[in-house]
Amino acid sequence: MKNLLSFSLVLGMFVFASCGDASENASKEASSAESSESSSDVTTAEADGEKSFCDCMEIAKNNPDLDVAPAGCEWMETKSEMDMAGLMIQALNDCPSLLEEMGLTEEVQSMKDDLESIDDMESEMEYYDELEEEIMQQEMEEEMEEGM
């Protein structure tokens, strides 16, 4: 259920970003998107018959009334929110023009920056945890030496 919600949220972003797209253009663009595969492992099709993340985004952009994952994009429903965030960030490299068309470039870049900041903070916290452990170990050794 959580994954379906995640897909719905991502799909919702695409719907809002693609308002006003003509439906006659949608099928042409979706067809061209289906024929072009990305070179990235993250956004390319995961198995035969599955579409890449960029292709699924293109289909969602061109068909804003979709309520379920399009054929070949069902794999997205199994992804966690963090996996979906990673796919969106990878799309900055794999299909930047599509993100630009959808008005998502700044939002995805911001998400990428936020995740990088979190990673940096986690690294700093690990460093300080290790430093604190070393200090405590040294203090304990000094206390043991004084006690002897």
Write down the mean pLDDT value for the chain: 74
Tell me: the pLDDT tens digits for 76-91?
Answer: 889 998 898 899 899 9
- pLDDT attached to residue 54: 93
| 3 pLDDT more than 60 | no
Calpha distance 63→73 (Å, rounded): 13
Give Cβ neighbours of residue 112 (< 8 Å, ≥ 6 apart).
89, 92
Cα 14 to Cα 6: distance, rounded to the nearest angstrom:
13
Q: Identify the band that residue 63 occupies on the pLDDT scale cut at 50, 70 and 90.
A: confident
pLDDT tens digits, residue range 16-47?
344 434 333 444 444 444 434 333 444 444 45
Q: Which residue has the higher pLDDT, 28 or 100?
A: 100
Residue numbers of the domain that contains 77 = 2-147
Per the model's pLDDT, the better-predicted residue between 62 and 26 turns out to be 62
At 134 the pLDDT is 93
Return all residues near 13 (Cβ < 8 A) that are at least 6 apart: 102, 104, 107
Higher pLDDT, 68 or 10: 68
Question: Count of domains in the chain?
Answer: 1
